[in-house]
Amino acid sequence: MMLNAWHLPVPPFVKQSKDQLLITLWLTGEDPPQRIMLRTEHDNEEMSVPMHKQRSQPQPGVTAWRAAIDLSSGQPRRRYSFKLLWHDRQRWFTPQGFSRMPPARLEQFAVDVPDIGPQWAADQIFYQIFPDRFARSLPREAEQDHVYYHHAAGQEIILRDWDEPVTAQAGGSTFYGGDLDGISEKLPYLKKLGVTALYLNPVFKAPSVHKYDTEDYRHVDPQFGGDGALLRLRHNTQQLGMRLVLDGVFNHSGDSHAWFDRHNRGTGGACHNPESPWRDWYSFSDDGTALDWLGYASLPKLDYQSESLVNEIYRGEDSIVRHWLKAPWSMDGWRLDVVHMLGEAGGARNNMQHVAGITEAAKETQPEAYIVGEHFGDARQWLQADVEDAAMN
């Protein structure tokens, strides 16, 4: 049989669209087959798809045959081979060439079709905003300028006028008064720059200016204008066709959170109470010291061995992850802080399982949610496992 075939699991022989994978085989030579079947799999079950001879030739003397594999469901790795049929015989074509016998599963062509994330994300121009330092709205509510004692810094917070120069003094305790309504006022300016999506550093209630020491995951900090200001920002971004992504700090909470309550505010938190309902949401050493993030005592690590914590953060129907993706908030996704360190027993044990759980919960709630993980190093193992859509440092 004087027949030659060409195929590799890369373009132009393989082309992916949103819902299907187009597979093409090139043939030249004498005695071409009457039919060709694409042998493939769906959820590990063998199936045969008829290939269609194309009218146009990719090269002079070359005939192209094509078939489509449905990508709406099934496994991310698709294996396939080609069954060429004549009236009196058949041959198989695989990476090893032609064969009279059907190939073993691992001898077939293979192409990985990972979840590439929501289609809208690829076309966005993102702008990251640190809320306290971007724009300050007027008039202000009294609670936006409330002065309180910042335990982690050992002093009261410092309120500065908007035009005062920035100094290194008391960095985490110094506030300039930027807020979410200020961001709303600047949306036309951002739109003019070409910005189409915003990623906000943490906005939930917390004592520091950076808000990575979360005190309440269910409410926006009054310094930023509270829940109402976030609703207004969400409405205004939607009116302008802009996306809005929040920062999820789920590796640790702040030590002033009611779950932990280091400063004895009477919430029954885990720090000083072995009988606290939240005790197993954190990890403690034998001497009762809470395990924290990188030596910062104000950032106690959350322990995902606890089923009730898992339900509160992502698995439950009204979990924190789901809550902010639902109406009326309808956020477009989460950026996950130091997500490679999240896990069980004060460390990152079973990390991939829980990151995947966060992403699954988000996409069950909002199928077009965009999940971005923060990583200090190589993030390929998370991306290739499809447990997040993208990575950043």
> Where along the chain do its domains lie?
3-112, 119-392
Q: Is the pLDDT of residue 252 over 90?
A: yes
Cα–Cα dist 6/21, whole Å: 18
Q: Is the pLDDT of residue 246 over 60?
A: yes
> Distances from the Cα of 188 to the Cαs of 120, 177, 240, 254, in angstroms?
21, 21, 8, 34
Cα–Cα dist 262/268, whole Å: 10
State the average pLDDT over residues 99-118: 87
State the average pLDDT over residues 111-116: 74
Residue 135: closest CA among 164, 172, 162: 162
Residue range 303-362, pLDDT digits in tens: 999 999 999 999 999 999 999 999 999 999 999 999 999 999 999 999 999 999 999 999
- What residues are labeled active site? 337, 374
Residue 217: closest CA among 244, 183, 253: 253
**What pLDDT band is residue 384 in, cutting at 50, 70 and 90?**
confident
Residue range 219-241, pLDDT digits in tens: 999 999 999 999 999 999 999 99
Cα–Cα dist 331/323, whole Å: 9
Amino acid at 92: W
What percentage of the chain exceeds 70 in pLDDT? 99
User: Are 188 and 170 in contact, with CB atoms under 8 Å apart?
Assistant: no
Q: Which residues pair with 83 in a beta bridge?
A: 37, 92
Q: Count Cβ atoms below 10 Å from residue 361 Cβ, excluding itself.
A: 23
Residue 344: closest CA among 393, 301, 295, 287: 301
Q: Please provide residue 383's backbone torsions phi and psi, each rounded to the nearest 5 degrees.
A: -70, -45
Residue with structure tokens 């077939």? 108
Dihedral sign of CA atoms 182, 184, 189, 194 in order: positive
Cα–Cα dist 282/263, whole Å: 16
**What pLDDT band is residue 1 in, cutting at 50, 70 and 90?**
low
Looking at per-residue confidence, does 354 or 393 come out higher?
354
User: Are 201 and 133 in contact, with CB atoms under 8 Å apart?
Assistant: no
Domain 3-112 has CATH 3.40.50.1220: no
Residue 374 neighbours by CB under 8 Å, 6+ apart: 335, 336, 337, 338, 339, 340, 391, 392, 393
Q: Is the pLDDT of residue 114 over 70?
A: no
State the average pLDDT over residues 101-110: 93
Q: Is the pLDDT of residue 204 over 80?
A: yes
Cα–Cα dist 38/47, whole Å: 8
Give whichever of 73-82, 111-120, 174-183 has the largest mean pLDDT: 174-183
* pLDDT for res 311: 99
Residue 132 neighbours by CB under 8 Å, 6+ apart: 175, 176, 177, 178, 179, 209, 223, 224
User: Are 177 and 132 in contact, with CB atoms under 8 Å apart?
Assistant: yes
Tokens for 27? 């043939």
What percentage of the chain exceeds 90 in pLDDT? 87
What CATH number matches the domain at 119-392, 3.40.50.10070, 3.10.310.30, 3.40.630.30, 3.20.20.80?
Answer: 3.20.20.80
